[in-house]
Chain A
Amino acid sequence: MTRKTIKVDYLARVEGEGGLKVTIEEGVVKNAQLNIFEPPRFFEAFMRGRHYTETPDIVARICGICPVAYQMSAVHALENIFGIQLTGQLRALRRLLYCGEWIESHVLHIYMLHAPDFLGYEGAIDMARDHSELVRQGLEMKKIGNDILTLVGGREIHPINVRVGGFHRAPRKSELVPLVEKLKWARETAIKTVQWAAELDFPDRQRDYIFVSLKHEAEYPFNEGRIISNQGLNISAQDYDAYFSEQHVPYSTALQSRLRQCGSAYLVGPLARYNLNYDQLSPLTKELAHTAGVAGVCRNPYQSILVRALEVVYAFDEALRILDGYQQPDYSFVDVTLKAGRGFAATEAPRGLLYHRYELDQSGIIIDAQIVPPTSQNQACIEEDLKEFIGGFLDLPEEKLQHRCEQTVRNYDPCISCATHFLKLEIDRV
């Protein structure tokens, strides 16, 4: 019996840690374990004893990449307690803010994290030496997402303008108008990104996933909708805990989510949204999807880069639609009538469903909080991908096999701030 171990350490900023261990026995992948360190669990404890009005600013600090998602799930859950349902321009502004975050997050992943996998580079820095225009293009697009966050969210990192009931301040139309020309340029660039991504050399791997995402009758989901799956699930956020369970696995500090009834892993994120909500995409996005050969269905996780690119086109398209109809509302928030109770919400973070639950007492103090981030929901699915796909790559040289494992994890864009920081990869061949 021989054993070979390959170990790679990565270090980024000090915001968490995670690791991946793949065990191969006699040419078969026997086990794959993803260990993710998960700050949202600490924030659940931080929230207890705080006044509900502090929530948007606290949860925004869970993640530097997706603060809007945390804010949106939080304010919607709290508004659920108070019986508030935003309409009109305030609702549109929240959608616009979410567009900005999707653009920033997806463009970062497409250009800087995933593209090097397909173009054969160690990382984005090496790729930039040969493809500087491609990287510049990504930077410019991401900056426009950033501009949306600054204008609607109040600042570029950890936005401060969101509050329960709306916003602290609604921007004037004249403040948003300069975005229009930039967005038009960016939409054209996003179209080229789809065309570029469609030509990448994708491993031919598919699985029969259980996709889970929000579904809204009139729009591609950001803030609202029922939680559905391609296996018949159709529930409100209030029933999340009855249908999904979180389980502890001994090798990870993060809880793994599974469907309660059957114990199956499930997939959240762009691939799930796309497969469950294709009809709600804009005509332009659908036309591009058709040309790219993924109209309606995409079950190959390596093609998630293409689906993200399509979602970026949609986000620019949707942002332009919202700006076209925007008028500064007469009020920036609706009044809140305080009451005790439990509230629930799920919104679509760039990397998937983000569930929040809060319980308040009569004075508005949080007595319990639950936050289930998409990366922990996808953990079990990532492990299953590795078990199923890596076996087909075992003839690759060790270095390439290791790279393929990393790429398989990267398909999911797991969040460094919500999830991994140190990524230690270990392959055991027995």
Chain B
Amino acid sequence: MIIGIGNLDRGDDAAGRLVARALGHKLPSHIISVCELSGDALALVEKMKQAPTVFIIDACVSGEKAGDIKRIDLRYQALLSQQRDVSSHGFGLSAAIDLAGILGQLPEICIIYAIEGENYALGAAVSLPVQQAIDKVVGRIEEEIVNFIPMKGTEHA
């Protein structure tokens, strides 16, 4: 299963959903299911338990250059949350992963692709570095699915 997370109206925050959408067009639906989420952690927890192998793609802010790609395989590495992502209303990706783990609902293989964004303004377009990163991530996930040999650890593209 491919899960793209983000907000299409907030510039680079759309990255995850655009990757998922592109993969949905490229890969046959009997091989892979694709969904887009707005960031509601509970919906993500619910989705994650529906498949043994899940790729999650999301935009991130970690201080790297825009367009930087991180790949995290949760079998080998924990997702580091730089900030406690509890707000007055929702939860983020790290909270969803934590929650799914506690509830025993994490898929056997869960691979996260995080794309560093630079512009999250309302109504902004996806920046060029992030657009290029989206294309790269689409290619890499496609390759992983085709070969079905998940790589280990975190890597920079």
Q: Bound pair: A and B?
A: yes
Q: Which residues of A contact B (CB under 8 A)?
A: 9-15, 18, 39, 42, 46, 61, 64-65, 108-109, 112-113, 122-125, 128-129, 132, 135-136, 138-139, 142-143, 146, 156-158, 406, 409-410, 413-417, 419-423
- Interface status of B25 (Cβ within 8 A of chain A): no
> Which residue of A65, A123, A406, A413 is within 8 Å of B40 (Cβ)?
A65
B89 close to A (CB within 8 Å): yes
Known contacts A128-B99, A143-B46: A11-B122 contact under CB 8 Å: no
* Closest Cβ neighbor of B7 among chain A residues: A15
Q: What sequence of 0s and 1s flags, for each residue 143-155 of chain B, a beta carbon within 8 Å of any chain A beta carbon?
A: 0000000000000
Q: Which of B93-129 contact A (CB under 8 A)?
A: 95, 98-99, 102-103, 117, 120, 122-123
A-contact 0/1 string along B60-92, CB 8 Å cutoff: 010000000000000000000001111111111
A125 to B96, CA, bound (A): 9
* Interface status of B134 (Cβ within 8 A of chain A): no
Assess the B91–A112 pair: CB atoms within 8 A.
Answer: yes
Q: Establish whether residues A135 and B103, one from each chain, have CB atoms under 8 Å apart when the complex forms.
A: yes
**Chain B residues positioned under 8 Å from A128 (CB to CB):** 99, 102-103
Please state if A10 and B83 are interface contacts (CB–CB under 8 Å).
yes
Partner of A61, one of B8, B36, B45, B90: B8
Question: Contact between B7 and A13 (Cβ–Cβ < 8 Å)?
Answer: yes
Given contacts A10-B87, A13-B13, A158-B38, contact A125 B98 (CB under 8 A): yes
Nearest to A414 among chain B residues (CB) is B88
| Structural contact, B92 and A12, CB atoms closer than 8 A | yes
Contact between A65 and B90, CB atoms less than 8 A apart: yes
The smallest beta-carbon distance between B97 and chain A, in angstroms, is 10
Which residue of chain A has the shortest Cβ distance to B6 in the bound complex? A13
Task: Report the bound CA distance from A129 to B98 in whole Å.
Answer: 10
Q: Cβ of B157 < 8 Å from any Cβ of A?
A: no
Q: Please classify how large the interface on chain B is, using the bins under 10, 10 to 19, 20 to 34, 35 or more.
A: 35 or more
Chain B, residue nearest A155 (CB):
B36
Q: Which residue of B lies closest to A146 (CB)?
A: B43
Q: Is the CB of A12 within 8 A of B86?
A: yes
Chain A nearest Cβ from B88, distance in angstroms: 5
Identify the 3 closest CB pairs spanning chains A and B, nearest first: A416-B89, A64-B38, A11-B83
B102 A129 Cβ-Cβ under 8 A: yes
Q: Which residues of B contact A413 (CB under 8 A)?
A: 88-89
B99 near A416: Cβ-Cβ < 8 Å:
no
A132 to B99, CA, bound (A): 9
Contact (A108, B87) CB under 8 Å given A14-B61, A15-B7, A39-B122:
no
Contact B89 A113 (CB under 8 A): yes
CB distance from B103 to the nearest CB of A (A): 6
- With the chains together, A415 CA to B40 CA distance in Å? 12
Residues of chain A within 8 A (CB-CB) of B117 are 14
Answer whether residue B34 sits at the interface, using C-beta atoms and an 8 A cutoff: no
> How many Å from the CB of A7 to the closest CB on chain B?
14
Not counting A11-B87, A13-B85, a sample of 8 additional A-B residue pairs whose C-beta atoms are within 8 angstroms of each other reads A12-B85, A13-B90, A132-B102, A142-B46, A157-B37, A157-B38, A406-B88, A409-B88
Smallest CB–CB gap between A49 and chain B, Å?
14
Residue pairs across A and B with Cβ atoms less than 8 A apart, 25 shown, are A10-B86, A11-B84, A11-B92, A12-B91, A13-B13, A13-B92, A14-B10, A14-B59, A14-B117, A42-B123, A64-B7, A64-B39, A64-B40, A123-B95, A124-B99, A138-B42, A139-B42, A157-B37, A157-B43, A410-B88, A414-B88, A416-B90, A419-B89, A420-B87, A421-B87
Looking at the complex, which one of B8, B95, B123 makes contact with A124 (CB distance below 8 Å)? B95
Q: How far is the CB of B129 from chain A (nearest CB, A)?
A: 17
Q: A135 and B89: CB pair below 8 A?
A: no
- Cβ contacts under 8 Å, A421 to chain B: 87
Flag if A15 contacts B102 (CB, 8 Å). Answer: no
CB closest chain-A residue, reference B104: A132
Contact (Cβ within 8 A) B99 A135: yes
Instruction: Give Cα A1 to B89, complex, Å.
Output: 37
Residues of A within 8 A of B91 (CB): 12, 112, 124
Report Cα–Cα, A417/B91, bound state, in Å. Answer: 12
What is the chain B residue whose CB lies nearest that of A123? B86
- Complex: how many Å from CA A413 to CA B87? 10
Known contacts A125-B98, A125-B99; decide if A9 and B83 are in contact (CB<8 Å).
Answer: yes
CB closest residue in chain B, given A413: B89
CA–CA, A314 and B40, complex, Å: 24
Of all chain A residues, which has the CB nearest B40? A64
Using CB atoms, name the residue of chain B closest to A136: B103
- The reply to whether A14 and B13 form a contact with Cβ atoms under 8 Å apart is yes
Alpha-carbon distance A157/B36, docked complex (angstroms)? 8
- Interface status of B9 (Cβ within 8 A of chain A): yes
Residues of B with C-beta under 8 A to A422: 87
Contact A420 B88 (CB under 8 A): yes
CB neighbours of B10 from chain A (8 A):
14-15
- Asked if B84 and A415 make an inter-chain contact with CB atoms under 8 angstroms apart, the answer reads no
Interface string of B2-14 (1 = CB under 8 A from A): 0000011110010
- Point out the residue from B38, B40, B85 that lies within 8 Å of A108, measured CB to CB: B40
A128 to B88, alpha carbons, bound, how many Å?
Answer: 18
Question: Which of A39, A128, A132, A143 is packed against the most chain B CB atoms within 10 Å?
Answer: A128
Give Cα A415 to B87, complex, Å.
10
